[in-house]
Each structure stands twice: as C-alpha cells, then as structure tokens.
Amino acid sequence: MASILGKLLNGKSNSATTPSLFVSLCSQAISASAALEFERALGLYDQAIAISPSDAEAYYKRGNALKDLGRFHEAITSPWYPSVKLYRQKSSGEWREVFERVAADLRREFQIT
C-alpha cells in the first residue's frame, strides 16, 4: 500500500486506483474508530484527505477522531483549511446574530457595501 500511496501523492496513479484507495482508507479509519483506536483513525483520515481533499465527510470524521482524543481545539481547526472560520450561536436557537456575522464577513471579503 505504501507504494500505491507514494504514486498517488506524486501524481503517478491511475484514476481508478485513487477512489478505491480513498474508500479503503476511510473504511479502515471507521473500523479503527469503532475499536477506539483514534490515533490510528486520525492517521488514516489524513491519508484519505491527502488523496481526496474535497471530501467533506473525511474532514468531519477526522474532527470526530480528534474530539474523541480530547483534542477539542484541533477538532475545530484544521491544517487542511487554515482559513476556515467557525460561526457559533451564543445560545441555542439564536441564529440571527450568526447570519448577521456571516453576511458581514462576506460583505467585507467581497468588498460589498
């Protein structure tokens, strides 16, 4: 498997190998999490994300593995998407202020007045 991963990361794999390796890594990570092997799961999710960086579910499950390890701050931040911003409600059900902050940030980002 290491040689396959090396080929993938060097861009020398065929397109049929990449999805099956990604699925295999995610399946192994799910099994590791079920066995409470969260560090192993984390490493497997990192490998899967390196292969398919647009798969949101892998990021979500990676965050859950970090949460299960008690690494809460890492779970809500990501080296994969350093510019991501988390918006939270101050109290349950208080969405208005969240949407106002999102809208203000979008206006600022896209220079809309």
Query: What is this structure's pTM?
Result: 0.60
What's the one-letter identity of residue 109? E
- Per-residue pLDDT tens digits of the chain, which is 113 residues long: 444 444 444 544 444 567 899 999 999 999 999 999 999 999 999 999 999 888 889 999 999 999 999 998 888 777 766 666 778 899 999 999 999 999 999 999 899 87
C-alpha pair distances (Å), 105 with each of 34, 47, 81, 85, 113: 38, 32, 17, 10, 11
Mean pLDDT of the chain: 83
Does the structural domain 2-77 have CATH classification 1.25.40.10? yes
Encode burial over 44-83: b for 16+ CB neighbours within 10 A, e otherwise.
bbbbbbebbeeeeebbebbbbbbeeeeeeebbeeeeeeee
Token reading at 96: 């208005």
Closest CA to 33 of 5, 70, 69: 69
Name the 3-class secondary structure at 99: helix
Q: What is the pLDDT of residues 1-29, one digit of tens each?
A: 444 444 444 544 444 567 899 999 999 99
